[in-house]
Structure 1
Amino acid sequence: MNQHTGMSGTEHRISFPDDFSDALQSSKREKFLFETALPRRSRPAPKTTQNDFVMRITVDAHAITELRQLILRTCGDLVQFMRVKPVDHATKMKVWLCLSQSSVDTMTSNIMRALPQAEFGKFTPLLSV
């Protein structure tokens, strides 16, 4: 059996309030309730420049072909990936485009000119894994 009789340098002493019974104070199982937590050491987040963004667009289902052709014809080299998902019983389509930061304005203006009914959602940075 493993028995621990002493305290190592990293452990904290447990002090119990006076109103707790001797049985509770001597119980090893409940001691964790009274231990003081060690402060966590956190590393600062690495500073990176964010170059890739995800643009969300919602269009009517009948306009998805036009949107895809527009993207590939005018800005195909600027798009890293495109995801299309039907919503609202396939009457609308959600589109996610991954773009570099420098191409967001170009892509937005081209889509607004060709499809004024397109609804633009959030522009969020693409998180690296």
Structure 2
Amino acid sequence: MAIKYKLIEKGQPGVVGGGIKKWYANVVNDGEMSIDDLVKSIEKFSALSEADIRGVIIALENVIQEALADSKIVRLDKLGTLYTGISSEGTATPEEFNAQTHIKNVRVNYRPGKRISDTLKTASLQRKK
């Protein structure tokens, strides 16, 4: 197992014509894991049936949706934390602010738990061409 990356050339942000270009590492995703794949993997470590695992994952998704929509932080112990974030335009006065007009993006932020962070810190890296 290794985190795969490739090198891409990027110019300086905000400089007309790109300025001095440098090479940066960029992650190369190597496939994906679907719910079916996750269920099969979890079955290996659990006494639960496929249907039970699938039911728990779907219920967890529903509970997370409700909690985030209610502005709650969702702490998933060792998995990490999910919480909402927003981006907005500024206004000169609070009275001028209108959520529908000035809030541009609502997103989910994720902060991994310690074990996941530690795994990424020690993961091997493999360059792809």
Which TM-score applies when normalising by structure 1?
0.17
**Considering only CA atoms, is the larger Rg found in Structure 1 or Structure 2?**
1
Which TM-score applies when normalising by structure 2?
0.17
Higher helix share: 2
